[in-house]
Structure 1
Amino acid sequence: MAEPAIALDSDWLRAHPLPQPDNGADKNARGRVLAIGGCRSVPGGISLTAEAAFRAGAGKVQIATIASAALPLGIAAPETAVFALVETPEGEIARGCAPIIAPLLERCDAVIAGPGMSDGAAGQAVVEAILDAGAGVTVIVDAAALMRLGANAEALGRRALPPIITPHIGEMAALLDCEGDAIEADRAGAVRRAASRYGAVCVLKGPTSVIAEPEGRLFAYAGGGVGLATGGSGDVLAGLAAGLAARGADPLRATLWAVWLHGEAGRRCSEQIGPLGYLARELLAHVPGLMRAI
């Protein structure tokens, strides 16, 4: 019989603290994130991911996105470096992006693929472009990049560090080649199967988020509210995980802290603004204070 889920709470976090940079650390020593994603219909989503990585403590964040969005994003997010990728006529990242992405991978500690993308084929192309990231780089896969991830499951499973995958119900159904109803009927079993199949730390997002590591150990966080079910919320969660991993947290610790920070930021927004109607970008300012409080 599988062991029950471990409650993800402040006690667990205090027992498993985040790595802290020393006072003399420069921005490179604080960790470097590369965020790849965006499309013409959601050009700003990747900026939520980038800011979340900064709020989690990363020192440098780079964005690689479709050419038509690169300059506006660079102006809107002056803390980031932005690189333009060739885009398809439909406004998605085009295949053949690897030559631009490859040198960027050499200068990052965590790379995230998928935020703000809407096409599974484009997402698959981005995943394939990052599979050769160095052994010390944490790979995070989100959103459209999850939809055809099965084709690269074996390659992901061979990585020295387990990747982090962050599906909702529909994306989990694609990961496991089954119907969403089957996922809902056994959320714990589904997240364990996905973690095993992809050799990944897997988050199944929902009112109670469940997280599994490849060996099957399960965690659960029940502190999120319905207000987190809003556009861009998942982009924030993925960026938090990337920023924490870039700081030096192992994939499981980065994921669990990201889930808790995301949920508790939602709780604060619910208290200060209302249980419904706050925006994903309003989560971000709460993150540094939440980390300090633990």
Structure 2
Amino acid sequence: MAESAPAEALPLDVAWLRAHPLPQPVSGADKNARGRVMVLGGCLTVPGGVGLSAEAALRAGAGKVRVGTVAPAAIALGALLPEAAVLALPVSPEGEIDAPPEGIAEHLSRCDAVVVGPAMSSEPHASRLLGGLLAQADWTAGLVIDAAPLLGLSAHAEALRARGAPAVLTPHVGEIAGMLECDAEVIERDRAAAARSAAERFGAVVVLKGGSTLVAEPGGALYGYTGGNVGLATGGSGDVLAGITGALLARGCSPLEAALWSVWLHGEAGRRCAETIGPLGFLARELLGFIPQVMRSGDQE
């Protein structure tokens, strides 16, 4: 059973879904009109994880997805996910994406949302990659930050607050502890306060993952979702959540709406996996096929 959300959290429920329907493409819209997502991540230790984010973005309705990952993994990833374009990036001796090459910048103007960090394992490399993106002054696409870049996010707080639209940050307890430079035990004592503090510090929408998921926005509003299950606590699950969020930003959702809808879609996909496969042992990739079904049911709520 999922833990309860704090009493002050607004519920993420059917009433909220009805009041905030997902934007729908017009009849005859081509794939560019459905939103273009770039996913930057992966490393030689976890070469396939970034593919989960990319496929999740496609399953959540994005029209085009481009994946930037370490060069040795690029061809294999492209073969496994033929629906996505692949950008081979320089690899460091540690097996991580090296400092951002100039080649990334030319792609930013052709995307509506960027997901950075999935399946990266080195905070220094991830932080340099994020810093290079934030340094592009004319870049206005939606932004989702996941995994390793979150651990060094304090160095980018000013740049994040200066963005025209809030980024969406998707930490678990350990990552938000790094963001706030405190111990995880402090976070666990008051997860609501931590989510709100991070939202204010970084001028971002914060999705604090856990037994119950909390979503905080700058200004103090807090939402809670308790429909997840323990089976979602598995490798790659967060990569799927990040990809869904990127797709919804690209489709035209506000950062808060993208965060809340992605939490609900991810949680409901997990519920369907638990019902059809079993409460434990389903894989993150098995969430992917349920995303369109859950999205359709949510639109009909």
**Taking structure 2 as the reference length, what is the TM-score of the superposition?**
0.95
CA-to-aligned-CA distance 1:205-253 (integer Å, 9 cap, x gap): 0010000001110000000000000000000000000001100001000
CA-to-aligned-CA distance 1:52-106 (integer Å, 9 cap, x gap): 00111000000000010111111111001001111111100111x2402101101
Are the equivalent residues in 1 in contact too, given 2:40–2:116 (CA < 8 A)? yes
Which letter does structure 2 place at the counterpart of 1:119? S
Residue aligning to 1:81 = 85
Are 1:16 and 2:20 matched, yes or no? Answer: yes
CA deviation after TM superposition for structure 1 residue 134, in Å? 4.4
Residue aligning to 1:176 = 180
Residue aligning to 1:268 = 272
Residue 115 of structure 1, aligned match among 114, 118, 141: 118
Task: State the secondary structure of the residue aligned to 1:286.
Answer: helix
Are 1:106 and 2:78 matched, yes or no? Answer: no
Task: State the secondary structure of the residue aligned to 1:147.
Answer: helix
CA-to-aligned-CA distance 1:150-201 (integer Å, 9 cap, x gap): 1011001110110000000110000000000000000000000000000000
Residue aligning to 1:151 = 155
Residue 139 of structure 1, aligned match among 138, 143, 147: 143
Residue 127 of structure 2, aligned match among 110, 124, 129: 124
Which letter does structure 2 place at the counterpart of 1:165? L
Are the equivalent residues in 2 in contact too, given 1:135–1:161 (CA < 8 A)? no
Residue aligning to 1:50 = 54
Are 1:25 and 2:29 matched, yes or no? Answer: yes
Residue 223 of structure 2, aligned match among 211, 216, 219: 219
Task: State the secondary structure of the residue aligned to 2:88.
Answer: strand
CA-to-aligned-CA distance 1:119-140 (integer Å, 9 cap, x gap): 0011101111211264541111
Are the equivalent residues in 1 in contact too, given 2:108–2:139 (CA < 8 A)? no
CA distance in 1, matches of 2:15, 2:192: 22
Given the superposition, is the C-alpha separation of residues 105 and 201 from structure 1 closer, same or farther in structure 2, using an over 3 Å criterion? Answer: same
CA distance in 2, matches of 1:85, 1:129: 14
Are the equivalent residues in 2 in contact too, given 1:105–1:134 (CA < 8 A)? no
CA distance in 1, matches of 2:189, 2:278: 31
- Let me know the Cα RMSD of the aligned residues: 1.2
- Stretches of structure 1 that go unaligned for 5 or more consecutive residues are none
Identity %: 57
CA distance in 2, matches of 1:130, 1:11: 37
Task: State the secondary structure of the residue aligned to 1:148.
Answer: helix
- Stretches of structure 2 that go unaligned for 5 or more consecutive residues are 1-5
**Taking structure 1 as the reference length, what is the TM-score of the superposition?**
0.97
Deviates more, 1:127-136 or 1:34-43: 127-136
CA distance in 2, matches of 1:23, 1:73: 32
CA distance in 1, matches of 2:101, 2:21: 35
CA distance in 2, matches of 1:33, 1:130: 14
Which letter does structure 2 place at the counterpart of 1:168? H
CA distance in 1, matches of 2:188, 2:15: 28
Residue aligning to 2:3 = none
CA distance in 1, matches of 2:30, 2:198: 37
Q: Runs (4+) of structure 1 moved beyond 4 Å?
A: none
CA distance in 1, matches of 2:258, 2:137: 18
